[in-house]
Amino acid sequence: MIVLTKESPTRAEDPANRLTAAATDPNDLDETLRKWIFEQNMFYASIYTEQHKNPLTIWAAWGVSIKKRAYLVEGLKGFSCLFEKYNWITIGKRSKDGHPHHPLYLPSDAEVKDFNVTEYLKGF
């Protein structure tokens, strides 16, 4: 998930650009949730939303890797509640299972589309 602001529509903003942990290979993610990381990210994301009163756009861009660990879906559910009032988008076609593609795998001419995270999460 990447948060875009009106002021910087092409640059990923931190701290909200993180769910629970980071790894260049999804198989290297922890097998279980490190709860303190999730709680810390939720805390900073809530501060972030309070500081940015202008409308935010949330770019759904996690790819099929969300299936690698159950806690990634649970984390997305938490973040989706926090960011539910904002506009969610995805870019390009979704995977055959409906997951929004990671930017690494998008063609340069991919189109921006609305993304209903609530409907998406019903599939889990």
Evaluate whether residue 27 is within a structural domain. Answer: no
- Residue range of the domain that includes 102: 2-10+32-121
Q: How many domains does the chain have?
A: 1
Evaluate whether residue 24 is within a structural domain. Answer: no
Evaluate whether residue 89 is within a structural domain. Answer: yes
Task: Tell me which residues of the chain have a pLDDT lower than 70.
Answer: 1-22
Evaluate whether residue 65 is within a structural domain. Answer: yes
Evaluate whether residue 18 is within a structural domain. Answer: no
Chain segment 51-73, per-residue pLDDT in tens: 877 778 889 988 888 998 888 89
Q: Which helix (H) or strand (E) holds 3?
A: strand 2-5
Evaluate whether residue 22 is within a structural domain. Answer: no
pTM for the model stands at 0.76
Residue 49 confidence (pLDDT): 80
Nearest partner of 42 among 80, 99, 69, judged by Cα: 80
Evaluate whether residue 72 is within a structural domain. Answer: yes
Evaluate whether residue 16 is within a structural domain. Answer: no
